[in-house]
Structure 1
Amino acid sequence: MPRSPLPPREGISATALRAPGGKATHAKNHLPVPDSIGEWLETEFPEAAPESRRALLTEGDMRDEEGHPVTWDDPVIPGGFYFFHRPVPPEERIPFEVGIVFEDDDLLVVDKPHFLASTPNGRFVRECVVTRLRVDFDQPDLVAIHRLDRITAGLLVLSKRPETRGRYQRLFQDRRVTKTYRALAPLPPEDMESPLLRRSRLIKPVGGRQVLEVEGEPNAISRIRLVRTVTPTRGDTEAARPPRRGESDVSPHDRTGEDKEGPPRGGEEIAEYVLEPITGKTHQLRVHMNALGLPILGDPVYPVDVGPDPYDFTSPLQLLAAEIAFDDPLTGLRRRFKSALELDPAAVSSESGETR
């Protein structure tokens, strides 16, 4: 896909839409080419009001891939790309801030808080790291070059310059990046070896949130090592938990630190683990820990998908992207970044009287 001729607006990238027809292979190249842009938009967005479709050309500043403005009656370029800014409604703010770990001309490394998405996704377009930082730093070209789940906290690497982005992205694609996570989960049985390698085949069924372990050749490998036992102390539950919707903002740094008092976890001892994903499948660490009978504290999907309200901040997932290391493709020097965040056993809700 060609680069958008439209710069981001309020930190939000323009939407790309490909026309039917053309000689290149794509999902719509077999469809008939409409006579005009207007006719095409009517088939693409049949449920939209007529004025909303026309607004894509005016308020959305619709352009072809060469950057030329288009009109309602212009002919459609078969198989061509068109770009426009779609309307994005306001979003309730996620009350946690992004921490800056490192910055140079090419990279921005940040500490992503729990509950804030890394990139625009679904209901969160404005409330994500990329959109926020594009606006805050006036850096329209910022792009996250790897994934970090919305409910996972820790290190996220962003590229500032398109000219060097591909070389850094290749590091992640070729698995030349060492990523180390830390997690809190139930204490393992005495006979569990540590460290251990968990190898399994993971699939994500269409329409489901849970990733499943199935029979077959492994496609996911994780190294898991027990570090220590953590015993939360009894304290003020209300002071320990993050805010619920409508309550005052709380910085994630106000909730970190393992010396903080918190509620007991249903009488169970918990432990801290170091997790190293050798591969990079969706939810891999969470699935592997759950499969061992050690679901990570605060996980709303494993072992049971509880369908949480995304604005319920009472039980942050105790999974932290703690370290990232790689050889810089531009200088050859070793880069190692460490998160300033900490796991917090006191932050996990115990309203149900048990560890999730």
Structure 2
Amino acid sequence: MSVTTAIVSEDEADIRLDRWFRRHHPNLTQGALQKLCRTGQIRVDGGRVTASTRLAPGQTLRIPPIPLADRPAPPVLDPHLAREAERMVIYRDEHVIVLDKPSGLATQGGPGITRHVDMMLDAFREGDGDRPRLVHRIDRDTSGILLLARTPGVAAKLAAAFRGRDVRKTYWAVVVGRPSPASGVIDQPLAKVGAGAGALVIGASRDDEDAASARSEYELIEAAGRKLSWLALSPLTGRTHQLRVHCESLGTPILGDPKYGGKAAHMEGFPDRLHLHARALDLPHPAGGRLLVEAPLSPHMRETFRTLGFSPGETRPPKRTSR
């Protein structure tokens, strides 16, 4: 083994030196890293550094001999899962991948879940590069847009954008009834009751110490009398089952919601599946500008829209703007 060099990439801007080594050489302990820094064996642009030094794109790292076998070989993905993953792609570039997740497919594993998006992500690994990472999650029964980051640095940037509310998420839902007023903001704190698969999220009072602030915008797009309505929903916070509970709190539960809708959410003549769809995502692109993507309605929601005479219009192709 010999001394090597590496260039800090754009998506690793401002990362600490020790975190960079954890990503690229996870077998190197923190103590060993600090010793290599103290003795000057690890350098950045020829200068001495500490484990907490922040890195900038384009800088050159001097890396002394480090034992190999620090990254396991990527698993071999079932070709059927790989093809299924590819069919979900609606946009990709060197930084992000956007999927159109079908209703019924879980985002991640859990008790009783044998198929999920996370187990398919090796389909998008390029060579021995990074495995893409989920940036956010949507419910198993919710269809639509799911965002992946190709590298850890991109994942960190996008996670910060989601936390900073610089991402606009639009969901479509068919709900039972007709909300009044026709648009507004639902400001209803939420609390989780129970644990595991049986846990429920409920509306809570503001002085409940276990409650979390939760706010959602809603707008009535079209209605079939007072029986069923098509709503556009935008969560302003990111709580579990937020939109489902907020719609129920309006007195208009989401059609087919098995957990929060009760008997009112199950109507003869309509698919008995959750009618909630992650329609659009408008976000700052990690390389600059913004990215807008839309996902077409899931098959069961298309069927319901046809039955009710709702007209969703065309799904616009992905669009990336420079500002």
Instruction: Report if TM-score (shorter chain) is over 0.5.
Output: yes
More displaced, 292-301 or 107-116? 292-301
Indicate if the aligned counterparts of 1:130 and 1:142 stay in contact, CA closer than 8 A.
no
Q: Which amino acid is the alignment partner of residue 336 of structure 1?
A: L
Q: Which amino acid is the alignment partner of residue 274 of structure 1?
A: A
Indicate if the aligned counterparts of 1:119 and 1:129 stay in contact, CA closer than 8 A.
yes
- Gaps in structure 1 of 5+ consecutive residues: 7-65, 70-82, 232-267, 306-313, 349-356
How much does 1:216 deviate? 1.0
Distance of aligned partners of 1:221 and 1:322 in 2 relative to their CA distance in 1, 3 Å threshold: same
Q: Which amino acid is the alignment partner of residue 199 of structure 1?
A: D
**Alignment map for 1:106-185 (pairs within 5 Å):** 106-124=95-113, 127-135=115-123, 141-185=131-175
Distance of aligned partners of 1:4 and 1:279 in 2 relative to their CA distance in 1, 3 Å threshold: same
Corresponding residue SS for 1:134: helix
Q: Which amino acid is the alignment partner of residue 197 of structure 1?
A: V
Quote the residue 1:40 is aligned against. Answer: none
Quote the residue 1:291 is aligned against. Answer: 249
- Gaps in structure 2 of 5+ consecutive residues: 1-18, 27-65, 264-270, 306-323
Indicate if the aligned counterparts of 1:209 and 1:301 stay in contact, CA closer than 8 A.
no
Q: Which amino acid is the alignment partner of residue 204 of structure 1?
A: K
Q: 1:158, 1:229 → 2: CA distance?
A: 34
Deviations 1:24-75 (A, max 9, x none): xxxxxxxxxxxxxxxxxxxxxxxxxxxxxxxxxxxxxxxxxx9899xxxxxx
Distance of aligned partners of 1:143 and 1:136 in 2 relative to their CA distance in 1, 3 Å threshold: closer
Indicate if the aligned counterparts of 1:315 and 1:347 stay in contact, CA closer than 8 A.
no
How much does 1:4 deviate? 9.5
Picking from 219, 235, 242, the partner of 1:225 is: 219
Corresponding residue SS for 2:109: coil
Corresponding residue SS for 1:228: strand
Quote the residue 2:190 is aligned against. Answer: 202
What's the C-alpha RMSD, in Å, of the aligned pairs?
3.6
**Alignment map for 1:50-69 (pairs within 5 Å):** none
Quote the residue 1:48 is aligned against. Answer: none
Distance of aligned partners of 1:315 and 1:136 in 2 relative to their CA distance in 1, 3 Å threshold: farther
Identity across aligned pairs (percent)?
A: 27
Distance of aligned partners of 1:345 and 1:141 in 2 relative to their CA distance in 1, 3 Å threshold: closer
| TM-score of the two chains, using structure 1 as the length reference | 0.55
User: How many residues in Structure 1 have an aligned counterpart in Structure 2?
Assistant: 224
Structure 1 segments of 4+ aligned residues over 6 angstroms from their partners: 66-69
| TM-score of the two chains, using structure 2 as the length reference | 0.60
Quote the residue 2:292 is aligned against. Answer: 336
How much does 1:154 deviate? 0.4
More helix by share: 2
**Alignment map for 1:205-216 (pairs within 5 Å):** 205-207=193-195, 208-216=198-206
